[in-house]
Homo-oligomer: A and B are copies of this chain.
């Protein structure tokens, strides 16, 4: 069987997973790719660092040139992460006629067009299945399996860290701070959790999925973003009362060439399959105009699941069965699609107020909602202290603009202490 040499850039969590899979499943991979894959070089920062895995002498290098200049290396697997350096390595590798596999969502979300142009010019393949949702093959799903569809919606739980935190808060009734601490202890959250908790990670992933699904380049800066820091145990409790579960959803919808793009904490019906996606699991629901609803559920992170996507891409390159131009539809499609302003989006809302325990406050509030075309489906109220009442509403579908206008006026009411929560609802209709 013919040998093929590959190089791995970065030997952290995912890199180690890729190495393990290539060893453990060697027999299957040989059969399926028709090649005997040899990891010829691994780029690391510190060659002398002690590692769990035993490697043949000469495999580790701290010099990228050892890989770029080695013509016998045909595929470069970029797992260094980060931005500029990773991008530079990939460009240099392509110019040296090497195919690319990457798990780097940051680089794909920012420079997919530039990178794909180079791939086409150099006639190399560029695969990035692992950049979104780890082991879930969502990129292939969109670009290969659902090609017969006009995709109308993508709704996903695509950040494992925040899903772990929200699941813990929901199931164990603990606070955000406690759940975050647990997530950090278990290695699900980083010391600085900003990227996950403030939803930057989910925004990058949504930008990639939306670009592919709607055939237009979606800039991640245009996606409405709201993290989970302000979700309180009280809101989770109230949501439960109303029959909902709180999840961080990434939502992309197209209607008459207008795109709705947003990532935020969301109430979803507790009876929906997505409500039972717990811990670090991910799930992505796609609505296509032919296939209807299709949901994928699996592990969105971790060395082996993400490694599964990376090695799957390596095998696809060896089978050589996709032309570069197939990989990112956005190169072919120049459709302009308008991204709606957040205030023009419509949804149901969960709104919780802290008010004084005075007669008339409910009437005043309801009147303001009514005057602004926001109608209320249900409400609940609890006296917490003597003069301090929590008042929670579920609205019918309303324009965000109308909800915001209402709340501006409600805030000015003498008997309203504070607007404590505004969380959107997704009913999957």
- A296 interfacial contact with B, CB 8 Å: yes
A101, chain B: closest CB distance, angstroms: 11
> Using an 8 Å CB-CB cutoff, how does the interface string of A117-160 with B read, 1 for contact, 0 for none?
00000000000010000011100110011111110000000000
Q: Is the CB of A294 within 8 A of B296?
A: yes
- A380 interfacial contact with B, CB 8 Å: no
- A311 interfacial contact with B, CB 8 Å: yes
Residues of chain A in range 264-306 having any CB-CB distance to chain B below 8 Å: 271, 273, 276-277, 288-299, 302, 304-305
A292, chain B: closest CB distance, angstroms: 5
- A215 interfacial contact with B, CB 8 Å: yes
- A166 interfacial contact with B, CB 8 Å: no
Q: Is the CB of B32 within 8 A of A290?
A: no
* Given contacts A31-B332, A295-B298, A304 and B276 within 8 Å (CB-CB): no
Cα of A305 to Cα of B292 in the assembled complex, Å: 6
Selected contact of A288 from candidates B31, B294, B308, CB within 8 Å: B308
- Chain B's closest residue to A276 (CB) is B273
Q: Is the CB of B294 within 8 A of A135?
A: yes
Contacts of A84 in B (CB 8 A): none
Contacts of A429 in B (CB 8 A): none
Stoichiometry, as copies per complex, reads: 2
Contacts of A29 in B (CB 8 A): 147-148
Residues of chain A in range 218-236 having any CB-CB distance to chain B below 8 Å: none
Q: Is the CB of B290 within 8 A of A150?
A: no
Selected contact of A150 from candidates B25, B135, B276, B329, CB within 8 Å: B25
- A319 interfacial contact with B, CB 8 Å: yes
* Given contacts A17-B290, A140-B140, A32 and B147 within 8 Å (CB-CB): yes
Cα of A129 to Cα of B311 in the assembled complex, Å: 23
- Size band of the interface chain A makes with B: 35 or more
Contacts of A305 in B (CB 8 A): 290-292
- Chain B's closest residue to A277 (CB) is B273
Cα of A151 to Cα of B210 in the assembled complex, Å: 30
- A21 interfacial contact with B, CB 8 Å: yes
- Chain B's closest residue to A290 (CB) is B308
Q: Is the CB of B273 within 8 A of A147?
A: no
Q: Is the CB of A290 within 8 A of B307?
A: yes
- A28 interfacial contact with B, CB 8 Å: yes
- A322 interfacial contact with B, CB 8 Å: yes
Contacts of A33 in B (CB 8 A): 147
- A192 interfacial contact with B, CB 8 Å: no
A4, chain B: closest CB distance, angstroms: 15
Contacts of A332 in B (CB 8 A): 31
- A115 interfacial contact with B, CB 8 Å: no
Contacts of A21 in B (CB 8 A): 148-149, 290
Cα of A1 to Cα of B221 in the assembled complex, Å: 35
Q: Is the CB of B319 within 8 A of A323?
A: yes
A111, chain B: closest CB distance, angstroms: 23
Contacts of A296 in B (CB 8 A): 294-297
Cα of A338 to Cα of B12 in the assembled complex, Å: 39
Q: Is the CB of A304 within 8 A of B292?
A: yes
Contacts of A298 in B (CB 8 A): 291-295
Kindly list the 5 A-B residue pairs having the minimum CB-CB distance in the complex, ordered from nearest.
Answer: A148-B311, A137-B145, A290-B308, A294-B298, A291-B308
Query: Mind listing 8 A-B residue pairs with CB under 8 Å?
Result: A25-B150, A28-B150, A31-B333, A135-B292, A137-B145, A148-B311, A290-B308, A292-B304
